[in-house]
Amino acid sequence: MSRHPGRAGRALLAGGLAAAAARAAYAALNQRPPGGREAWARTNHRGEPVTLLEGPAAAAGAAAVSLIAPGLPARARAGLALAGAGAAAFGAYDDLRGSGDRRGFRGHLGALASGEVTSGAVKIVGISATGLAASVLVGGGQDAGGGSAADVVINTGLIAGGANLLNLFDLRPGRAIKVAVAAGAALGVSPAGAAGAAAPVGAALSVLPEDLGERAMLGDSGANALGGMLGAAAAAALSRPARVTVLAAIVGLTAASEKVSFTKVIERTPLLHRLDMLGRRPAAAVPQSAPGGPGAPRGPGSPAGEAGGAAGQAPRAAAAAQQ
């Protein structure tokens, strides 16, 4: 990930430790799922059963190893862990309590304006709060004397925005993990970026076979945690101008998701479609029945699941609602 061999070795070690920790957590959670196995069971876009336990396992492995990962100051390591743990906790709450009736920032904030507190609104506020605390720990990134109020605002946006954005890609097997790995590779061009991204990328890669095999999915807990940690890694590694640029990209993509289906864009772009399908099972055949009839597909694999901007950016399991 880095041009410095010693630092690259330390990043690889951290990634390996995070992968091992995530696999151990996944095995333990499958042995004794909190709240029972049914609480984490969902049906995917093929109508097949999957578990959401992959997400908490990846988050736990990444957050734990980030506390001891070399190459970053202690405060930055604590910020990474807090960003991951906070996003995982509030994401899990939305996974388990969310109904999916309200989706996207507009949906949840609109419900809040009407006096309805949705699980997604709780998640938005919670991830923003933990992102703020993590941004204070991270400070000013690579800017000497950083850590001003402007840095805190930028870093909070990177952490909370990153958590939300990665979740928007968790619509098909392996997609969110591939995006996380690409983001980690981009951060890895600098030593600090490699150090910060190593744990979330390693944990994500460790559960990729489960995700591609459609036995499990990240859900909000995993996608929010990995995205938040990558945002924290960017906050710790980049200069202020670079952080502002990344934040602008996050805001732009998030706003676009309210109007545009990411899945449709990916499917219509040959290179993106090939990367999206890499390692995945072939697409399921669409049942031949009248629209809306008993055989019509439901959820994100159907037109109804992809239409309507943010409402169409539904997670791969019908009951796992996004922000």
Q: Does 285 map to a domain? A: no
Q: Does 290 map to a domain? A: no
Question: How many domains are contained in the chain?
Answer: 1
Q: Which H or E element spans position 151?
A: helix 149-168
Q: Which amino acid is at 144?
A: A
Express each pLDDT in 275-312 by its tens digit: 999 999 887 654 444 444 444 333 333 333 343 333 33
Nearest to 71 by CA among 140, 148, 10: 10
Q: Does 66 map to a domain? A: yes
Q: Does 225 map to a domain? A: yes
Is 225 a residue whose pLDDT tops 70? yes
| pTM of the predicted model as reported, rounded to 2 decimal places | 0.83
Q: Does 257 map to a domain? A: yes
Asked whether the beta carbons of 143 and 151 are under 8 A apart, the reply is: yes
Q: Does 287 map to a domain? A: no
Residue 127 has what pLDDT? 96
Residue 72 has what pLDDT? 86
- Domain residue limits at 34: 5-40+48-280+298-312
Q: Does 318 map to a domain? A: no
Residue 4 has what pLDDT? 53
Under 8 Å CB-to-CB from 241, ≥6 apart: which residues? none
The residue with greater pLDDT, 101 or 310, is 101
Q: How far apart are CA 280 and CA 265, in angstroms?
A: 18
Residue 100 has what pLDDT? 59
Q: Does 317 map to a domain? A: no
Q: How far apart are CA 226 and CA 237, in angstroms?
A: 16
Q: Which H or E element spans position 176?
A: helix 175-187
